[in-house]
Amino acid sequence: MQEGKLIGFKIPIRMHIELKARLFYDEIPMTRFVRSYIEAYLNNDPLVLEFVDQHKRKNNIQNKKKIKKNAKLLQKGKEIEKLFNLTSEEVEDIYDILEDKLERIEI
């Protein structure tokens, strides 16, 4: 069996009932739903990132400058990946370098 961590959080009872009903209707187990959403987020799925950006703006979680900076980094990474056909590890290294450079410029 694969090792893992158990994640738990509280939501309002009404929200839990509605979530279970919708997932039952869509025939998706709750664990699969949560896992797939987490995977999509970690894999920079554009639909999930769009939702996260909207959520951050709506709830003032991150300032607009930081949101724009993150979007630029993601776009630049996609361009580099496409141009050079790099592996995900190589792209991560480039993200780190770009982020470091941007932070030094802003200071």
Q: Tens digits of per-residue pLDDT, 72-85?
A: 877 887 777 777 77
Cα–Cα distance measured from residue 107 to residue 97, given in angstroms and rounded to the nearest whole number:
16
2 part of a folded domain: no
Do 54 and 22 belong together in one domain? Answer: no
What average pLDDT does the segment 7-22 reach?
94
Per-residue pLDDT tens over the stretch 25-71: 999 999 999 999 999 998 888 899 889 888 888 888 877 777 778 77
Do 15 and 54 belong together in one domain? Answer: no
Do 62 and 86 belong together in one domain? Answer: yes
Query: For the whole prediction, is pTM greater than 0.85?
Result: no
Do 59 and 88 belong together in one domain? Answer: yes
Do 98 and 52 belong together in one domain? Answer: yes
Range of the domain at 96: 45-107
1 part of a folded domain: no
Do 37 and 52 belong together in one domain? Answer: no
H/E segment holding residue 105: helix 88-106
Other C-beta atoms lying within 10 Å of the C-beta of residue 77: 18
Do 30 and 64 belong together in one domain? Answer: no
Cα–Cα distance measured from residue 13 to residue 46, given in angstroms and rounded to the nearest whole number:
30
For all residues of the chain together, what is the average pLDDT?
Answer: 84
Cα–Cα distance measured from residue 98 to residue 70, given in angstroms and rounded to the nearest whole number:
11
